[in-house]
Amino acid sequence: MEIPEILKNLNAQKQIEYLVKKYSGKRIVIYGAGKFFDVLKKEYDLSGLNVIAVSDKKFSEIKEPVFDESVGYSVIAPMRIYTLKPDMVLLCVQEDYFVEKDICENIFKQTGHKFKYTPFFKRTLGERIFQDWEDF
């Protein structure tokens, strides 16, 4: 299944509107700057979210937030997210299990700092099983 179709099936616009209401005025970091994020930012309006930075392993060398024109936001290394004191980190990836595992087993342990995080899109158990089955 292609990413635009996945986002449509997740009712992306409705979920974004929910996030905008839930995190109004909160400092948000988006974790994940891959294809999923690229499609999301091109096809949906994220301007209602107070995104202070986008983080991804490909930005591992970036110690302080720096604006990246190709991303459209400031970017920072995952190991430095805690320095921004975000209210929430939204995991903008198709498979959030591995990112959550990396956050807990590596980032939190190596930095000694924690932050709140949640998947950008909530999926039902059935949707998760179906997606995992397709990936298998």
Listed by start position, the domains of the chain span 3-135
DSSP run (H or E) holding 40: helix 35-43
Give the homologous superfamily in CATH for domain 3-135.
Answer: NAD(P)-binding Rossmann-like Domain (3.40.50.720)
- Token pair of 68, please? 């990246």
pLDDT above 90 as % of the chain: 76
Tens digits of residue pLDDT in 21-73: 999 999 999 999 999 999 999 999 999 999 999 999 999 999 999 999 999 99
Is the model's pLDDT at 136 over the cut of 60?
no
What pTM does this model have? 0.88
Amino acid identity, position 54: V
| DSSP bridge pairs for 75 | 54, 66
